[in-house]
Amino acid sequence: MFHKEGHKIIAITFIIIAALGVSVNHWIQIEWLRVSLLLVLLVLLVLILQFFRNPNRNFTPNTQQVLSPVDGKVVVIEEVFEKEYFNEKRLQISVFMSPLNVHVTRYPVAGDVVYSKYHPGKYLVAWHPKSSEENERTTVVVNSPEFGDVLHRQIAGAMARRIVNYAEEGQTVDQTADSGFIKFGSRVDVFLPLDAKVQVSLNDKVKGGLSILATR
């Protein structure tokens, strides 16, 4: 199953690779070279399919938990001063996604969307300390009855050039529902109340909509 954001890219990629494959098979007479080029084209197609995959998962929403919005590795757990929305200290948990991870972004909590904003910006590597403030990004805040306002921020990486954000202010959203999609490598920051109980450690591998980041 593939995410809707990848349908057009997958179709175009398939047509281009099929055309190139036919040309290589017809014009390249050297056997080892022809096979090598065909294998390279196949690998490129598989990588594109891998990136846009959207596997079926059995989610179990829980209002007492903040779930990871994305697949990836936990790279930051720290208290920071969040100045775009809260203007106060919050607990930040950041998950880095490689190009091989599933890139669907899911709502970490259920509630009402009270803030949603897109910011154009740079394309620093996603683990750069300033990427959260200077890169292309979207900021979404969901007001949860249990955790209050929970902010999650999609951040473009060095490879990413487009962030898709589905959140609109005034919406009521379900935990684990699609919040957006980031194309080709990125990171998501989650900002929580300081009294949230963290359930992950640095370098943990997490799954979007399944892994618990924090509880009450």
Catalytic site positions: 186
Cα atoms found within 13 Å of the Cα of residue 96, Cβ hemisphere only: 17
Q: How far apart are CA 147 and CA 111, in angstroms?
A: 10
Using alpha carbons, list the distances in angstroms from residue 21 to 13, 16, 32, 34, 40.
12, 8, 14, 9, 10
Query: Which residue type occupies 84?
Result: E
Angstrom distance (rounded) from CA 180 to CA 34: 40
Continuous H helices in the chain: 7-27, 31-51, 131-134
Q: Which segments within the chain are labelled E, that is strand?
A: 65-67, 72-82, 88-97, 104-106, 111-119, 137-144, 148-156, 163-165, 172-173, 178-182, 186-192, 197-198, 205-206, 212-215
| 202 DSSP assignment | T
Q: How far is it, in rounded angstroms, from Cα 71 to Cα 105?
A: 8
